[in-house]
A and B are shown apart, each in its own frame.
Chain A
Amino acid sequence: MNRKFLSFPYLIWMAGFTLIPLLLIFYYGLTDRAGGFTLDNVKAISSPECIQALLRSLKLSCISTVICLILAYPLAMILKHSKSRNSFIVFIFILPMWMNFLLRTMAWQVLLDKNGVINNILSFIGLPSLNMINTTSAIVFGMVYNFLPFMVLPMYNVLSKISDDTIEAAHDLGANAFQTFIKVILPLSVPGIVSGITMVFVPALTTFVISDILGGGMILLIGNVIEQEFTFSNNWNLGSGLSLVLMIFIIISMIMIAIFDKDGEGTVF
């Protein structure tokens, strides 16, 4: 018996529940309620409300991705040198997921509140209080908090595979610490960086929950607009059309991964 047939139930499952559903989004996105072909649902992205939400989403997700990148790289380097067991490192970043993600995000509401813990500490040490809740910065904060593990883990995976011999060889050949980093470590960690960037950028771009909770429901991201089309307005065609626009960014991310992380070294887990 040819063992590759064992993957057939899985392939049928994925066809039925991943590929066909995606085609349905295309179908709904490119038709009107009566079923006739139209591009109006996609063009709706240029309406003031949608384009504003999309630009805001792009801006906030870019900022969050950059912050995650800056925070995660040193952390991944430290973890590489810490000689902890691999499973332990994955574990400390996965463990928070056992406390519901909505509740954890809610908790930041309390901490960031005008009369919250952080402002109390600030006023205690004599600093002016910050107005953080229901602002775009609170949303960025929530994005960084929720998606940081998805930047750290791929980077750590890639960095931990760089053998000490490679680094020693660079030193033996006369490179100093900085040169070793720029010429050896950084280029070798590109798959992890690219994978991390997409793993943060895509969920940040498309979230509607974080903006709902930390933006006080006043700051709409593109995810909120789409969610409302499905849950309130019941205009699936418009919602699907806007999703198609989002898929452009997702497909760009997938292509980036295919180019820079060919061997799948930078997978999260």
Chain B
Amino acid sequence: MKKFLSSTYMAIILLFMYIPIVALIILSFNSSKYMSTWTGFSFRWYGQLLSSTIIKDALRNTLIIAFLSATIATILGTVASIGINNMKKMPKTITMGITNIPMLNAEIVTAISLMLVFIAIGLKLGFLTILIGHITFNLPYVILSVMPRLKQTEISTYEAALDLGASPFKAFMKVVLPDIMPGVTSGFLLAFTMSLDDFVITHFTKGSGINTLSTLIYSEVRKGIKPSLYALSTIMFITVIIILFIANKPKKSEQ
């Protein structure tokens, strides 16, 4: 009985989480342009997707920014984690406090503050400023993923590698990195996902003339969103599920 109740509760919450996604996938096959009426099954919006340069540009920007910001944040963040791990208690506490700021601060405040600084230093709002903004809010995710792994790593293995004649860089690559790799990977994936789903930071740091998927969708909220965007989201979502499914399969056989 208790088990039944728990499963039902869990199912209701998951339904709540996933119902809008199911709705969007269904709507992407709706031949009507309006969200509220179903006029039949069609691939019309998938076809239009291929011919829309606006959507293709926004998609390209979104993916490039997500990839670059996650990669740069992962490298900068992983290197920084090693440094932080070697700090004394006081500087470490302060640094982790600073790391938490973008996580705990309101997105709108972070976004506005970045916009003000870009304008103050005379950086034209555009691709670069979006990228810097995304790196900034991605860094904490990387550091918070890598730090726990690093704490578990034995410093002695690294020192043993040095004693055996490895250079610090080689010792890091061959000994420490494999140890902390799960943290680095999950940091990267989190950063990539957060960048992909971000709207607020992009909205304030993008200037005119460039769009990501989020800002493109936002600009269409009032006049009605093109169903091609549902089609695109459906493709992206299904792709991720397939990739994750393939990536997770070998792990199951290991157990």
Contacts and interface: CB of A to CB of B under 8 A. Distances in A.
Contacts of B109: 22, 25, 206, 243, 246-247, 250
Contact of A24 (B120, B136, B193): B120
Contacts of A11: 80, 95, 98
A124 interface: no
Interface string B197-236: 1011000100000000110011001100100011001001
Nearest to A115: B36
A17 B236 contact: no
A217 B218 CA distance: 13
B117 A21 contact: yes
A200 B155 CA distance: 37
B244 A117 contact: no
Contacts of A207: 108
Interface residues of B, number: 85
A94 B17 CA distance: 10
Nearest to B158: A3
Contact of B98 (A18, A111, A236, A267): A18
What size tier do the contact residues of chain A reach?
35 or more
Contact of B136 (A13, A79, A240): A13
Interface in A58-84: 71, 74-75, 78-79, 81-82
By DSSP majority rule, is chain B's interface helix, strand, loop, or mixed?
A: helix
B10 A78 contact: yes
B156 interface: no
Given A81-B6, A100-B214, A21 B116 contact: yes
A110 B112 contact: no
A53 interface: no
A22 B113 contact: yes
Contacts of B126: none
Interface stretch (A35-43, A185-193, A222-230): A222-230
15 contacts: A1-B168, A2-B86, A10-B79, A17-B136, A18-B110, A22-B113, A91-B244, A94-B193, A111-B23, A113-B36, A149-B17, A203-B107, A206-B108, A226-B108, A230-B204
Interface of B: 6, 9-10, 13-14, 16-21, 23-24, 27, 35-36, 76-77, 79-87, 91, 95-110, 112-117, 120, 132-133, 135-136, 139, 141, 143-145, 168, 186, 190, 193-194, 196-197, 199-200, 204, 213-214, 217-218, 221-222, 225, 229-230, 233, 236-237, 240-241, 244
Interface of A: 1-11, 13-14, 16-22, 24-25, 28, 71, 74-75, 78-79, 81-82, 87, 91-111, 113, 115-117, 145, 148-149, 198-199, 202-203, 205-209, 212-213, 217, 223, 226-227, 230, 236, 239-240, 243, 246-247, 250, 253-254, 257-258, 264, 267-269
